[in-house]
Amino acid sequence: MPTTITFLGTSAVTPGAGHDTASFVINRKYLVDTGWNAAIRMLSHGISPLDLEYLFFTHFHQDHYISLPQVLFYRNQRSRDREHVPPLRIIGPEEELERIVSLTTQFIQIEKLKGGFVEPELHPLSPGSSFETDAFLIETIKSIHPVPGLVYRFTDKETSKVLAFTGDTAYHPPIIEMARDADLLIHEASHGPNRPKDTTWGHAGSPEAAEIAKEANAKRLALVHCPEAQQEAAVEAAKVIFPNTFWPEDGETVTL
């Protein structure tokens, strides 16, 4: 089975109408960050939230987890559609994972849910630690961002295809090793076509993402996470350094 990546959104912190912030689904079973509206956007691209087995968080800034309540509530409400909906396994930076999930279950008031609530299974990760699923070997390093964050490398155990993705991060040379020979690198480009003068906010520009992809010998670079108006310019600036760069369309599925 080839690895597929379906982009639910690629916009900045506050997406425009009809868009969502950076979030995607791997193999229709792994959600990476929730954006603002993951459950409904999955449905509009023909993917059921009930099929999710894993949810990976890059970090816990609001634009990356704000629809977690929707994902858990949707699965709970529709679980009667299936004979067995397994607990969602949620993976993310160890410093904040348990607190965010606990706040979420309080917010959706699980005690009021008819038929009970299946608690998610939590797997807190620290940078440098790895994780394994039936399909992937997963390695991590830390991102450069104001809150704890992880950069992930997924290696398909069957095909050896590699997907690397950053979440939010400033330019960070160790990402080159995480993206080494990757079939696809998904790198944030919050600063659009510009190199940031001030890296305090922990974000990158597209020329920096392109340098990482080039040094890593990645095959393709997908840019995400800048305002819609800057996306075309971001791709143009990156292509000067790494020609095989694109900005994924909302709903686009890339096959490795």
Burial class of residue 80 in the structure, from the number of CB atoms within 10 Å of its CB (0-12 exposed, 13-18 middle, 19+ buried): exposed
Looking at the Cβ atoms of 64 and 75, the one nearer to Zn ion is 64
Q: How far is the CB of 256 from Zn ion (least distance, A)?
A: 24
| Residue 221: alpha-carbon gap to chain centroid | 15
Nearest residue to 87 via CA among 108, 71, 63: 71
First-to-last C-alpha distance (Å) of the chain: 10
Nearest residue to 17 via CA among 31, 34, 36, 3: 36
Return residues touching Zn ion (CB under 5 A): 61, 63, 168
With vertex at residue 161, the alpha carbon angle to CA 160 and CA 163, rounded to the nearest 5 degrees, is 130
In angstroms, the CA 204 to CA 236 distance is 15
As given in the structure block, the two tokens for residue 66 are 């704000």
Q: Which residues are CB-contacts of 90 (< 8 A; sequence separation ≥ 6)?
A: 54, 55, 57, 97, 101, 120, 121, 122, 123
